[in-house]
Amino acid sequence: MNRPSDAAIDALMDELSRGLRADQLSRDPEKLAAYGHDESDTGDFPPQLIVFAERTEDVAFVLRTCQAHGVPVTPVGARSGKSGGSLPLYGGASLSLERMNRILSISTENLTAVCQPGVITGELMRAVEEKGLFYPPDPNSWEFCTLGGNVAENAGGPRALKYGVTRDYVIGLEWVLPSGETIRVGRQTIKGVAGYDLVGLFVGSEGTLGIATEITVQLIPLPRFVKTALLLFADVNAAAKAVTAILHSGILPRTLELLDDVSVAAVDGRGFSFPPGTGAAVLAEVDGNDEEPLFAELARLGEIATQHGATETLLAADGPQRERLWAARRSLSTSLRALKRHKISEDIAVPRARIPEVIAQLKAMGAELGLTVATYGHAGDGNLHANILYDGPHERAKVDTALERMVKLTLAAGGTITGEHGVGYAKRAFITWEQGPKVVALQQQLKALFDPKHLLNPGKIFPG
Ligand SMILES: Cc1cc2nc3c(=O)[nH]c(=O)nc-3n(C[C@H](O)[C@H](O)[C@H](O)COP(=O)(O)OP(=O)(O)OC[C@H]3O[C@@H](n4cnc5c(N)ncnc54)[C@H](O)[C@@H]3O)c2cc1C
Residue 336, helix vs strand vs coil: helix
Distance 7 CA to ligand 1 centre (A): 32
Whole-Å CA distances, 270 to 42, 44, 85, 267, 329: 28, 31, 30, 5, 10
Strands 112-115 and 103-107: what pairing?
Answer: antiparallel
Q: Is 56 in the pocket of ligand 1 (CB under 6 A)?
A: no
For a ligand 1 pocket test, name from 51, 63, 76 the mutation site with the most ligand atoms within 8 angstroms of its C-beta: 76
Q: Is 350 in the pocket of ligand 1 (CB under 6 A)?
A: no
End-to-end, the C-alpha distance of the chain in Å comes to 10
Q: Is 82 in the pocket of ligand 1 (CB under 6 A)?
A: yes
Q: Closest residue (by CA) to atom 49 of ligand 1?
A: 85
Number of residues assigned to the chain? 464
State residue 213's pLDDT score: 98
- What letter does residue 346 receive in the DSSP assignment? -
Strands 25-26 and 342-345: what pairing?
Answer: unpaired
Distance 155 CA to ligand 1 centre (A): 7
Q: Is 148 in the pocket of ligand 1 (CB under 6 A)?
A: yes
State residue 41's pLDDT score: 87
Are 82 and 152 contacting, i.e. CB atoms less than 8 angstroms apart?
no
State residue 22's pLDDT score: 98
User: Where do runs of H (alpha helix) occur along 203-290?
Assistant: 236-247, 261-267
State residue 185's pLDDT score: 98
State residue 169's pLDDT score: 98
State residue 456's pLDDT score: 98
State residue 191's pLDDT score: 92
Distance 454 CA to ligand 1 centre (A): 22
Atom of ligand 1 nearest to the CA of 334: 1
Are 331 and 261 contacting, i.e. CB atoms less than 8 angstroms apart?
no
State residue 184's pLDDT score: 98
State residue 131's pLDDT score: 98
Ordered DSSP codes for 138-174: --TTTTT-BHHHHHHHT---TTHHHH--GGGTEEEEE
Distance 90 CA to ligand 1 centre (A): 20
Q: Is 117 in the pocket of ligand 1 (CB under 6 A)?
A: yes
CA–CA distance, 287 with 294 (Å, rounded to integer): 7
Distance 275 CA to ligand 1 centre (A): 34
Query: Any residues with CB less than 8 A from the CB of 397 and at least 6 apart, and which?
Result: none
What are the pLDDT tens digits along the chain (464 aa)?
A: 889 999 999 999 999 999 999 999 999 999 999 999 999 989 999 999 999 999 999 999 999 999 999 999 999 999 999 999 999 999 999 999 999 999 999 999 999 999 999 999 999 999 999 999 999 999 999 999 999 999 999 999 999 999 999 999 999 999 999 999 999 999 999 999 999 999 999 999 999 999 999 999 999 999 999 999 999 999 999 999 999 999 999 999 999 999 999 999 999 988 788 999 999 999 999 999 999 999 999 999 999 999 999 999 999 888 888 988 888 888 888 889 888 888 888 899 999 889 989 999 998 999 999 999 999 999 899 999 999 999 888 998 999 999 999 999 999 999 999 999 999 999 999 999 999 999 999 999 999 999 999 999 999 999 97
CA–CA distance, 404 with 402 (Å, rounded to integer): 6
Phi, psi angles (nearest 5°) of residue 137: -60, 125
Ordered DSSP codes for 167-210: GGTEEEEEEE-TTS-EEEEE-SSS----SS-HHHHHTT-TTSS-
Atom of ligand 1 nearest to the CA of 146: 25
Distance 80 CA to ligand 1 centre (A): 5
State residue 464's pLDDT score: 75
User: Dihedral of CA 356/153/284/286: which sign?
Assistant: negative
Query: Any residues with CB less than 8 A from the CB of 24 and at least 6 apart, and which?
Result: 51, 52, 53, 54, 58
Phi, psi angles (nearest 5°) of residue 357: -65, -40
Burial class (CB in 10 A: 0-12, 13-18, 19+), 4: buried
**Residue 309: closest CA among 239, 206, 385:** 239
| Residues 299, 248, 384: CA angle, nearest 5 degrees | 95
CATH numbers and ranges of domains, the chain = 6-96 (3.30.43.10), 103-221 (3.30.465.10), 225-333 (3.30.70.2190), 342-412 (3.30.70.2740)
